Chains A and B, each alone.
Chain A
């Protein structure tokens, strides 16, 4: 037995750390490659390195020009993009204004069934002004609100010629991004190689990135320790602590995604805002961060506290200060002096179940009995979509643009308003926010909205967890963005 082991050890090869080639272990494999169709984050983090949008996000999630070298908003109904010259697709064909217009027409075509169509439903026309300029005309004065969408993977620019030659974009790619997709072995790995035509001088630095799919966290930890991979996504803070900073670089950032308790505002007793607000007071958010995330996270209000331009800090909300006495008072006012009983639907993903357990214990303190319904993810989604819950625990991807963050969730009848929440003032503020261009005025609008959302509590905002990528010490130049994007792989290198 021992000899057999030794034989294998002898035959083992250690050439993985060859310079210029980075191997990353990730948890989930892409579900498709069409940038206009896929919604899964697992696909986005590959495609954002293969395709480009007109804009992109910078390190602090500021909007930067990308395929558009500049843009302007002459009035709230108009956005004009000036397209960069000398950009080539991976197959060597040059990028033209026609490709840009074709991409957005494809997104908007109902036949495509692109989820991104909803972002651009208020676009009236897209036209070429000249060979380098594209003008978007909007039906509503919401140019500022719509802008961040242009940086998303779902708004990638594809090649008209490539698509029209009959290629299936779910299986084949042709973008303008820093890497091209060289090999995809389903269930095993994806290899991206350096795009020689990439329009940013000196980028990407790496010759090759290999994404290896390892569903189990234990395997990713072991693979990193064993140097089978250079870098790995690690989800559990406790696992991150196994890696000493002498030997490993730990990349860490708070995410925009936030944990929340969603409430069905039409079910008793939650149809009374006082009851919903009582939960706010009864939940000790710091305790959840400590016990579930081992301190690796921040308490959040309706917007992530790091987005200083818009967010009201959580400390500003009276309701977010742990105060069980106040909670009991509110319950008594609403006619539930002895508490009540309700169910929380959740699944075992991302520690949702653990959050539920802590909340169960905390609410017991004010006499509210919580029954946890732990269901499989598919069942969760179905119940979520049908608003078949008293309350649920889940995570939403956040945004640095308040319109994207709030509109679809809290507008009466909004596409993801599963809370069945309806408040005329909230609706009014949401409309006002997206049609105002003056930043100061927008800030006032969204501050009022945030206060109202906390008071009305269709959602109890909990916390944003930190995300981690752990890498070998030789890996540098990488940065993690709060939106969990891996766009900085183009600047990553190995010493």
Chain B
């Protein structure tokens, strides 16, 4: 039954993904300026004839709808084309950059969930105390500050205080795991703190809600220890909204990585996307959006599973 559910979800997701990609395809082509314009800039020396040839070479002289279906047809057969700007295969570009973004996203989520849940629980348990106030202020700052700003502060702070700390100079994890972690630390902390702020709020509210339930009072009356009460009885039930929020935040994370990868000079997918949009490198933009759309859909399915693990009453049909 679960397998059937997954297959159904995947089938339903296909039109969603296609719609997203179509929208992005139309959007990027609607923006004035083509890849040829970007290549020539304001210093171009080419004749009209040469420019026409360039358009023909990139297939940009064909109607938009023809371009879309040509791209779709190739993509279905796993041919993602080549980058118009660099001439490299798009799939290779994406696969080169994907690990950086996945690592950044994973580390950020680990930081966000760890800090978010711990602070959220503490805040709820110590309700209206000084600690609660501090955590509330902290999460308010986190929610209202842009990632770019927090990241900039970290950079200035760390480059001044810890000159031995390797802020820049990304090293792949398979080459030197320690240096890799070092170069990933500040970017993931920045993103992690952003997301953490939301998780703190939800965890706190949800914990307070659960702690008011009758069964908690019963457990308390039975003499269950405070630690067991919080972590065993309350937290597990309080986590369902947290999972939902985390899922939504994962979507935001993709946007966040664009900003953070640029700021910290990380060679990830987000930076590639920004560069590709700036240069109107259509195949790269379309393929990255496709990848991201698929990833988000997959994460949503995964999150539904986590629900069932947390609450046996939730059933996947």
User: Are B160 and A186 in contact, CB atoms less than 8 angstroms apart?
Assistant: no
Of A98-106, A220-228, A293-301, A426-434, which binds chain B?
A220-228
Output the nearest chain B residue to A379 by Cβ-Cβ distance.
B32
By a CB distance below 8 angstroms, the chain A residues around B96 are: 186-187
Min CB distance A67 to B, Å, is 23
The answer to whether B15 has its CB under 8 Å from any CB of chain A is no
Known contacts A9-B164, A13-B166, A215-B271; A378/B280 CB under 8 A: yes
Give Cα A113–Cα B49 distance, bound, in whole angstroms.
10
Of A70-78, A85-93, A135-143, A381-389, which binds chain B?
A381-389
Known contacts A32-B85, A32-B87, A186-B88; A229/B42 CB under 8 A: no
By a CB distance below 8 angstroms, the chain B residues around A168 are: 87
Output the nearest chain A residue to B167 by Cβ-Cβ distance.
A226
The answer to whether A361 has its CB under 8 Å from any CB of chain B is no
By a CB distance below 8 angstroms, the chain B residues around A40 are: 39, 41
Per-residue contact bits, chain B 191-227, to A (CB 8 Å; 1 contact, 0 not):
0000000000000000000000000000000000000
Give Cα A18–Cα B29 distance, bound, in whole angstroms.
48
User: Are B265 and A377 in contact, CB atoms less than 8 angstroms apart?
Assistant: no
The answer to whether B40 has its CB under 8 Å from any CB of chain A is yes
Known contacts A118-B46, A216-B265, A222-B159; A31/B165 CB under 8 A: no
By a CB distance below 8 angstroms, the chain A residues around B264 are: 219
User: Are A8 and B165 in contact, CB atoms less than 8 angstroms apart?
Assistant: yes
User: Are A115 and B32 in contact, CB atoms less than 8 angstroms apart?
Assistant: no
Known contacts A31-B279, A215-B271; A170/B167 CB under 8 A: no
Cβ contact of B42, chosen from A29, A116, A222, A384, cutoff 8 A: A384
Known contacts A39-B41, A216-B263, A226-B158; A31/B85 CB under 8 A: yes
The answer to whether B37 has its CB under 8 Å from any CB of chain A is yes
Min CB distance B186 to A, Å, is 9
Known contacts A39-B39, A115-B45, A415-B47; A31/B167 CB under 8 A: no
The answer to whether B2 has its CB under 8 Å from any CB of chain A is no
The answer to whether B69 has its CB under 8 Å from any CB of chain A is no
The answer to whether A371 has its CB under 8 Å from any CB of chain B is no
The answer to whether B152 has its CB under 8 Å from any CB of chain A is yes
User: Are A378 and B33 in contact, CB atoms less than 8 angstroms apart?
Assistant: yes
Give Cα A54–Cα B156 distance, bound, in whole angstroms.
45
Min CB distance B256 to A, Å, is 15
By a CB distance below 8 angstroms, the chain B residues around A225 are: 159-160, 163
By a CB distance below 8 angstroms, the chain B residues around A115 are: 40, 44-46
Known contacts A378-B32, A397-B43; A212/B169 CB under 8 A: yes
Min CB distance A377 to B, Å, is 7
By a CB distance below 8 angstroms, the chain B residues around A383 are: 32
Output the nearest chain A residue to B263 by Cβ-Cβ distance.
A216
By a CB distance below 8 angstroms, the chain A residues around B178 are: 11
User: Are A219 and B168 in contact, CB atoms less than 8 angstroms apart?
Assistant: yes
By a CB distance below 8 angstroms, the chain A residues around B37 are: 378, 381-382, 385
The answer to whether B76 has its CB under 8 Å from any CB of chain A is no
User: Are B86 and A14 in contact, CB atoms less than 8 angstroms apart?
Assistant: no
Min CB distance A81 to B, Å, is 23
A-side interface residues, number (CB < 8 Å): 60
B-side interface residues, number (CB < 8 Å): 58
User: Are A219 and B45 in contact, CB atoms less than 8 angstroms apart?
Assistant: no
Known contacts A119-B45, A222-B155, A227-B163; A188/B267 CB under 8 A: yes
By a CB distance below 8 angstroms, the chain B residues around A385 are: 37, 40, 44
**Which chain B residues in 134-149 approach chain A with CB under 8 Å?**
none
Min CB distance B140 to A, Å, is 19
Give Cα A60–Cα B185 distance, bound, in whole angstroms.
45
Output the nearest chain B residue to A33 by Cβ-Cβ distance.
B86
Give Cα A357–Cα B258 distance, bound, in whole angstroms.
29
Min CB distance A39 to B, Å, is 6
Min CB distance B50 to A, Å, is 6
Per-residue contact bits, chain A 210-241, to B (CB 8 Å; 1 contact, 0 not):
00111110110111011111000000000000
Min CB distance A408 to B, Å, is 7
User: Are B54 and A113 in contact, CB atoms less than 8 angstroms apart?
Assistant: yes
The answer to whether A394 has its CB under 8 Å from any CB of chain B is yes
**Which chain A residues in 388-431 approach chain B with CB under 8 Å?**
394, 396-397, 408, 415-416
User: Are A222 and B167 in contact, CB atoms less than 8 angstroms apart?
Assistant: yes
Min CB distance A383 to B, Å, is 7
Give Cα A188–Cα B172 distance, bound, in whole angstroms.
10
Per-residue contact bits, chain B 47-59, to A (CB 8 Å; 1 contact, 0 not):
1001001100100
User: Are A218 and B33 in contact, CB atoms less than 8 angstroms apart?
Assistant: no
User: Are A14 and B265 in contact, CB atoms less than 8 angstroms apart?
Assistant: no
Give the interface centre of B164, B169, B279 by most chain A CB atoms within 10 Å. B169
The answer to whether B283 has its CB under 8 Å from any CB of chain A is no
Per-residue contact bits, chain B 265-284, to A (CB 8 Å; 1 contact, 0 not):
10110011001001110000
Min CB distance A421 to B, Å, is 16
User: Are B267 and A185 in contact, CB atoms less than 8 angstroms apart?
Assistant: yes
The answer to whether A110 has its CB under 8 Å from any CB of chain B is yes
The answer to whether B170 has its CB under 8 Å from any CB of chain A is yes
User: Are A415 and B163 in contact, CB atoms less than 8 angstroms apart?
Assistant: no
By a CB distance below 8 angstroms, the chain B residues around A396 are: 42-43
The answer to whether B182 has its CB under 8 Å from any CB of chain A is yes
Give the interface centre of A13, A119, A222 by most chain B CB atoms within 10 Å. A222
User: Are B179 and A13 in contact, CB atoms less than 8 angstroms apart?
Assistant: yes
By a CB distance below 8 angstroms, the chain B residues around A12 are: 162, 164-166, 182
By a CB distance below 8 angstroms, the chain A residues around B31 are: 376, 378-379
Known contacts A216-B263, A216-B265; A228/B166 CB under 8 A: yes
Give the interface centre of B42, B50, B97 by most chain A CB atoms within 10 Å. B42
The answer to whether B13 has its CB under 8 Å from any CB of chain A is no
By a CB distance below 8 angstroms, the chain B residues around A226 are: 158-159, 163, 165-168
Known contacts A216-B265, A225-B163, A378-B37; A416/B85 CB under 8 A: no
* Selected A-B contacts with CB under 8 Å, 28 pairs: A8-B182, A12-B165, A31-B39, A32-B87, A113-B53, A113-B57, A115-B40, A118-B46, A168-B87, A170-B86, A171-B88, A187-B272, A188-B170, A188-B265, A212-B168, A212-B265, A213-B265, A214-B168, A218-B155, A221-B159, A223-B167, A226-B158, A226-B159, A226-B166, A376-B31, A376-B33, A381-B38, A415-B47
Closest 5 interchain pairs by CB? Answer: A378-B33, A187-B267, A222-B159, A118-B45, A214-B265
Add 12 more A-B contacts to A39-B44, A227-B163 (CB < 8 A).
A29-B275, A31-B86, A39-B39, A113-B46, A117-B50, A187-B272, A215-B262, A215-B265, A216-B265, A222-B159, A222-B167, A415-B44
A→B interface (CB under 8 Å): 5, 8-9, 11-14, 16, 23, 25, 29, 31-32, 39-40, 110, 113, 115-119, 168, 170-171, 185-188, 212-216, 218-219, 221-223, 225-229, 376-385, 394, 396-397, 408, 415-416
